[in-house]
Structure 1
Amino acid sequence: MRRIATAVAAALALGLLLPWAMPATAASAPPAAAAFRQEVPRTILALVDLREEDTIRLSRIHTMVELPLNHLGLSVVYWNVADGLPDLSRYPGLRGVVTWFAGEPFADAAAYIDWVGRAMDRGVRFAVLGQPGVRLERGGRPVPLALANRFFARFGLRDDDGFSDLTYRSKPALADGTIGFERTLSGVLPGYPLFRKTDARVSSHLVMRRADDPASDSHLVVTGPAGGLAAEGYDRYFDAEYNRRQWIVDPFAFFRNAFATDDLPKPDVTTLSGRRIYFSHIDGDGWRNVTEVTPHAAKRVLSADMVRIAAIEPFPDLPVTVAPIVGDLDPTWNGTPQSVEAAKTLFALPQVEPASHTWTHPFQWIFFKDYSRQKEAPFLDRDGTYRPTKSDDHAAETAGEVSDIGRYAVPRAYLQQPFDLDQEIGGALDYFTRLAPAGKRAVLVQWSGDTSPFEDALAAVRKTGGVNMNGGDARFDADFPSITGLPPVGLPVGTERQIYAAGSNENTYTDLWTNRFYGYRNLVNTMRHAGAPIRLKPFNVYYHMYSGQKAASLNALVSVLTAARATELAPVAASIYARIAEGFYTARFEPLEGGRRWRVRDRGALNTLRFDRASATAVDFTRSTGVLGQRHSQGSLYVALDPAVAEPVVALAEIDRADRDPPAPVPYLVEGRWAFSALAGEGTGEGAGFRVAATGYGEGAMVWRVPRPGPWTITAERDGAVLWTGSATADDDGRLALTVPLSGIDPLILRLRPILRPSGGAAG
Structure 2
Amino acid sequence: MSCAVVACAAGARDARACRDALEVPRTILALYDGTQLASSRISPIHRYAEMPLNDLGYRLVYQDVAHGLGTMPDVPIAATLSWFEGPVPDPAGLAAGLADLRDTCGHVPAMLTLGDIGLDDATIATAAGAAYLGRLGVVAGSDQISVGTSAIVQKVDDRLIGYDTMFDIRTGIQTRIMARDPAASYLTLDTGSDTIDLLVISPGALYADSSVLVREDPRGGPLWVSDPFALFELALGSSQWPVPDVTTLSGRRIYFATVDSDGWLLRLPARQFGDQPPFASEVLDSDLISPFPDLPVSVALIQSDLDANVAGIAADRGRAVASHLFGQPQVQPATSGASMIYNWSFFADYNAQSEQALLLGGATTSVDSGMLVNAIRSLGDQVSPRSLLGGGVGGPRKYVNTAFDLWTETAGAIAASAAIAPGDTAPPLYRWSGDAMPFAAALSSVSAAGSENLGGGGGRLTMVRPSLANLMPLGFRTDAGLQVYDALDGDADYTQGWTSNTAAFYALQQTLDRTEAPRRLKPFQLSFAARSAVDFASRSAVRAHLAYARSAEVTPVTAARYARAVIGYDAVQIIAEGPLTWRIQDRGDLQTVRFDDAVAWSVDLSRSNGVLGARRTGTSLYVALAPDNAQPRVTLLQSNAAAGLVPQGSTPALVHARAEILQSARDNCISRMVLRGFGPGNTEWLGAPDHAYDVEMMESDGLTPAFWQTLTSDAEGRFSVEFPLPGSAPTAIRFTDACNGS
**TM class, shorter-chain normalised?**
0.7 to 0.9
d(CA) in 1 for partners of 2:66 and 2:284?
49
Q: CA deviation at 1:511?
A: 2.3
Match of 1:92 in 2: 75
Distance 1:394 1:103, change over 3 A: farther
Distance 1:700 1:162, change over 3 A: same
- Greater displacement, 667-676 / 167-176: 167-176
What secondary structure is seen at the aligned counterpart in 2 of 1:233?
Answer: helix
Distance 1:68 1:191, change over 3 A: farther
d(CA) in 1 for partners of 2:151 and 2:367?
63
Match of 2:487 in 1: 502
Distance 1:78 1:393, change over 3 A: farther
2:251 to 274, 278, 285: 274
1:601 to 580, 585, 598: 585
Q: CA deviation at 1:536?
A: 1.1
Alignment of 1:23-102 (within 5 A): 37-83=21-67, 85-87=68-70, 89-102=72-85
2:717 to 734, 749, 752: 734
- Greater displacement, 166-175 / 350-359: 166-175
Match of 1:10 in 2: none
d(CA) in 1 for partners of 2:466 and 2:681?
36
d(CA) in 2 for partners of 1:132 and 1:36?
32
- Deviation string, structure 1 residues 276-297 (Cα, Å, up to 9, x no partner): 1000011111111112385899
Match of 1:230 in 2: 208
1:474 to 439, 459, 467: 459
Match of 1:662 in 2: 645
What secondary structure is seen at the aligned counterpart in 2 of 1:154?
Answer: helix
Distance 1:168 1:698, change over 3 A: farther
Match of 2:15 in 1: none
Q: CA deviation at 1:59?
A: 1.3
Match of 1:366 in 2: 345
Distance 1:409 1:37, change over 3 A: closer
Distance 1:653 1:189, change over 3 A: farther
Distance 1:717 1:294, change over 3 A: farther
Q: CA deviation at 1:523?
A: 1.2
What secondary structure is seen at the aligned counterpart in 2 of 1:129?
Answer: strand
- Greater displacement, 60-69 / 114-123: 114-123
What secondary structure is seen at the aligned counterpart in 1 of 2:564?
Answer: helix
d(CA) in 2 for partners of 1:641 and 1:248?
37
- Greater displacement, 732-741 / 710-719: 710-719
Distance 1:191 1:388, change over 3 A: same
Distance 1:690 1:147, change over 3 A: closer
Distance 1:243 1:142, change over 3 A: farther
d(CA) in 2 for partners of 1:724 and 1:699?
13
Distance 1:286 1:608, change over 3 A: same
Match of 1:746 in 2: 729
Q: CA deviation at 1:397?
A: 11
Letter in 2 for 1:178: L
Letter in 1 for 2:528: Y
Match of 1:693 in 2: 674
- Deviation string, structure 1 residues 304-331 (Cα, Å, up to 9, x no partner): 1101111112211111111111101123
Higher RCO (CA 8 Å, separation ≥ 6 residues): 1
Distance 1:717 1:451, change over 3 A: same
Partners of 1:364 and 1:450 within 8 A in 2: yes
1:324 and 2:301 matched: yes
Distance 1:403 1:380, change over 3 A: closer
Alignment of 1:405-484 (within 5 A): 408-484=393-469
Match of 1:173 in 2: 155
What secondary structure is seen at the aligned counterpart in 2 of 1:622?
Answer: coil
1:712 and 2:693 matched: yes
TM-score of the aligned structures, taking structure 2 as reference length: 0.88
Partners of 2:583 and 2:633 within 8 A in 1: yes
2:523 to 538, 548, 562: 538
1:152 and 2:133 matched: yes
1:128 and 2:105 matched: no
Partners of 1:289 and 1:393 within 8 A in 2: no
Partners of 1:397 and 1:403 within 8 A in 2: no
d(CA) in 2 for partners of 1:396 and 1:470?
28
Gapped regions of structure 2 (runs ≥ 5): 1-18, 369-374
Q: CA deviation at 1:670?
A: 1.0
Partners of 1:175 and 1:207 within 8 A in 2: no
Q: CA deviation at 1:186?
A: 5.5
Letter in 2 for 1:676: I
d(CA) in 2 for partners of 1:233 and 1:712?
61
d(CA) in 2 for partners of 1:188 and 1:76?
30
Distance 1:235 1:190, change over 3 A: farther
- Deviation string, structure 1 residues 484-537 (Cα, Å, up to 9, x no partner): 111100011233221111121212222222131222111111122122111111
Match of 2:225 in 1: 248
Distance 1:78 1:703, change over 3 A: same
1:355 and 2:355 matched: no
Distance 1:217 1:372, change over 3 A: closer
Q: CA deviation at 1:244?
A: 2.5
Q: CA deviation at 1:256?
A: 1.9
Distance 1:512 1:403, change over 3 A: farther
- Deviation string, structure 1 residues 106-128 (Cα, Å, up to 9, x no partner): 3x423221111111685111101
Q: CA deviation at 1:242?
A: 5.1
Letter in 1 for 2:80: V
Partners of 2:658 and 2:677 within 8 A in 1: yes
d(CA) in 1 for partners of 2:729 and 2:139?
64
Distance 1:145 1:397, change over 3 A: farther
Match of 2:86 in 1: 103
What secondary structure is seen at the aligned counterpart in 1 of 2:602?
Answer: strand
Letter in 2 for 1:464: A
d(CA) in 1 for partners of 2:150 and 2:691?
68
d(CA) in 2 for partners of 1:724 and 1:194?
73
Letter in 2 for 1:692: M
Letter in 1 for 2:323: K
Match of 1:23 in 2: none
What secondary structure is seen at the aligned counterpart in 1 of 2:708?
Answer: strand
Distance 1:502 1:295, change over 3 A: farther
d(CA) in 2 for partners of 1:178 and 1:297?
65
Distance 1:206 1:38, change over 3 A: same
- Greater displacement, 286-295 / 522-531: 286-295
d(CA) in 2 for partners of 1:552 and 1:467?
32
Q: CA deviation at 1:204?
A: 3.9
Letter in 1 for 2:153: K
Match of 1:309 in 2: 286
- The share of aligned pairs that are identical, in percent, is 32
Partners of 1:170 and 1:210 within 8 A in 2: yes
What secondary structure is seen at the aligned counterpart in 2 of 1:92?
Answer: coil
d(CA) in 2 for partners of 1:660 and 1:41?
29
Distance 1:468 1:263, change over 3 A: same
d(CA) in 2 for partners of 1:233 and 1:714?
60
What secondary structure is seen at the aligned counterpart in 1 of 2:568?
Answer: helix
d(CA) in 2 for partners of 1:289 and 1:623?
59
What secondary structure is seen at the aligned counterpart in 2 of 1:340?
Answer: helix
- Deviation string, structure 1 residues 625-645 (Cα, Å, up to 9, x no partner): 111111111211111111111
Q: Cα RMSD (Å) of the superposition? A: 3.0
Distance 1:410 1:218, change over 3 A: closer
Partners of 1:317 and 1:351 within 8 A in 2: yes
Partners of 1:279 and 1:572 within 8 A in 2: yes
d(CA) in 2 for partners of 1:637 and 1:741?
28
d(CA) in 2 for partners of 1:570 and 1:604?
19
1:629 and 2:613 matched: yes
